[in-house]
Amino acid sequence: KYSRHQHYGFVMLGAPGVGKGTFSKLLAKKFDANVITSGDLLRRAAKEAKDKDRGRYLQQCIASGQLVPDHIVLPMIIDQLRDQTKSFILDGFPRTLHQAERIYAEYHFDLAIYLTLPDDVLTEKLLGRRVCNECGRTFNVASICKGDIIMPSMKPVKDGICDDCGSPLGIREDDTIEVVEQRLKLFHEIMTPILDFYKEKGTLLEFEVKTGIDDTLRLIQDINNSLERNR
Ligand code: ATP
């Protein structure tokens, strides 16, 4: 069972837009963990790269929805993990079997949490996403009701303005219909070997998202059951 005194290692797997970021933040509170988000690290590295060619290259990978190569991503993640004194949640990582194997071999690891939603819901969510240019908080202007999936919209109080810091909201450059389709296609291609890897290790927890944040209690219960089973 979950204990505050223990350190946990989790990875959050799931398609673009499934809510990895939102659930990672909620779980971080519960498990007193740091969230390491590969997409954010890469977006920052693209902006701040001293080597301009490298910056442009990263920028181009992200804008087109292609994977950044392992020799760039892995050292960045390992760098973050090296100094961890707390539990950690990796969000958006691993995306290749090699990434999965490296982290599994070298760091304490408990569970791979795989969040799922149908592709048509993911597309609507991604196209409805708005991000604060200043503080990075995300909102969603799409409200989705499909069968037993009900995603209430997470609209800002004032249209186009961040509730937290009052700055303008924008659209992520890869949240366009063309790039969304490319990201979803790539996701399905790359995920099978990674899911098989964790399944074989007995550490895969698959979780069907139904309502967004209201699913948290159910997810925490599932995580506790899996931790108990794997103890
Ligand atoms: P979401 O839309 O839910 O944030 P996403 O998977 O589409 O999920 P990010 O995780 O933010 O978006 O990733 C954005 C881009 O950063 C990817 O399209 C890819 O170019 C790059 N990237 C992120 N993580 C990795 C990784 N582990 N390996 C390779 N490339 C990555």
Per-residue pLDDT of the chain (231 residues; tens, 9 = 90+): 456 667 899 999 999 999 999 999 999 999 999 999 999 999 999 999 999 999 999 999 999 999 999 999 999 999 999 878 899 999 999 999 999 999 999 998 999 999 999 999 999 999 999 999 999 999 999 999 999 999 988 999 999 999 999 999 999 999 999 999 999 999 999 999 999 999 999 999 999 999 987 899 999 999 999 999 887
List all residues 6 or more positions away from 55 whose beta carbon is below 8 Å from its beta carbon. Answer: 45, 46, 47, 48, 49
From 13, 41, 42, give the residue whose CB has the most ligand 1 atoms within 8 Å, as the site to mutate.
42
Q: What is the pLDDT of residue 56?
A: 97
Q: How far is residue 91's CA from residue 106's CA, in Å, rounded to a whole number?
A: 18
For ligand 1, whether the C-beta of 187 sits within 6 Å is no
Q: What is the pLDDT of residue 134?
A: 94
Q: What is the pLDDT of residue 153?
A: 87
Q: How far is the CA of 204 from the centre of ligand 1 (A)?
A: 20
The token duo for 136 is 């990075």
Q: What is residue 89's three-state secondary structure?
A: strand
Q: What is the pLDDT of residue 6?
A: 78
From 62, 74, 80, 121, give the residue whose CB has the most ligand 1 atoms within 8 Å, as the site to mutate.
62
Contact assessment for residue 168 and residue 133, using Cβ atoms and an 8 Å cutoff: yes
Q: What is the pLDDT of residue 15?
A: 97
Q: What is the pLDDT of residue 231?
A: 79
* Burial classification of residue 198, based on how many CB atoms lie within 10 Å of its CB (0-12 exposed, 13-18 middle, 19 or more buried): buried
